[in-house]
Amino acid sequence: MAVGRPRAFDVEERLDRALDVFWRQGYEGTALSDLTEAMGINRPSLYAAYGNKEALFGRVLDRYQDGPARHLRTALEEPTARAAAEHLLRGSVAVVTSARNPGGGCLLVQGALATGEQGEAARARLADGRRAAETALRRRFERAQDEGDLAPDEDAADLARYIASVSFGLSVHASDGTGAEALHRVVDRALAAWPG
């Protein structure tokens, strides 16, 4: 059974280079030529390995959530609701001011907020990702209510929405050039509104 010519590049590793481009330029602002150049592969190799631009973006997004945006999941493992919220927000500051994206901001937010028809699928995917993160946080808060470290009369959905909203705001603000220290002070204020 013949096996064929081996691929000359590492599929996962090159995803990181694609991630950097999408992160900086957004989905619609990124051309295939930008991707092939950054990834160091030819167009047909890209299509063979990843499908098409949209599918590549999906792979990149998964990698983003497993990598730079890992804090969205790890925050849920904190022992208390308040610690989870703070972990999420501090982690967000780190990501949106990451040296990897000098422009600042979070891929889940900047990637494709408003788009034409072509970017619709990417936009929807990002919105799903944001909603999923918020839902996971809400569930964590509900668990905290069961465990007694969050008042049972609090509205967990409202609280999660608030934290998510602040996190989104950090992303936009970072893309205006605001640094990590200033954003941490925003987080300080946001957490000052924590119930109880």
Partner DNA sequence: CTACTTCTGTACCGCTTGGTACTCAACTCG
Partner DNA sequence: CGAGTTGAGTACCAAGCGGTACAGAAGTAG
Phi/psi region, residue 31 (left: phi>0; alpha: psi -120 to 50; beta: rest), is beta
Distance (Å, whole) CA 29 – CA 14: 19
The amino acid that residue 32 corresponds to is L
**Within positions 29 to 48, which residues make up the interface with a copy of itself, using CB under 8 A?**
29-31, 34
Using CB under 7 A, which of the segments 30-38, 70-78, 94-102, 122-130 binds DNA?
Answer: 30-38
In the 8-state DSSP scheme, what is residue 111?
S
Backbone angles phi and psi of 109, in degrees to 5: -100, -50
Q: Which positions from 117 to 156 touch DNA by CB under 7 A, shown as an x/- string?
A: -x--------------------------------------
Residues 42-71 that bind DNA (CB under 7 A): 42-45, 47-49, 52-54
Write the interaction track for a copy of itself spanning residues 133-172; mark x where CB under 8 A is met and - where it is not.
----------------------x--xx-xx-xxxxxxxxx
List CB contacts of 183: < 8 A, sequence separation 6 or more.
93, 96, 97, 170, 173, 174
The nearest distance, CB 132 to DNA, in angstroms, is 25
Residue 94 interacting with a copy of itself (CB under 8 A): no
Give 152-158's long-range contacts (Cβ < 8 A, gap of 24+): 154/195
Cβ closer to DNA: 98 or 115? Answer: 115
* Separation of alpha carbons 121 and 52, rounded Å: 13
> Would you tell me which residues interact with DNA (CB under 7 A)?
1-9, 30-34, 41-45, 47-49, 52-54, 116, 118
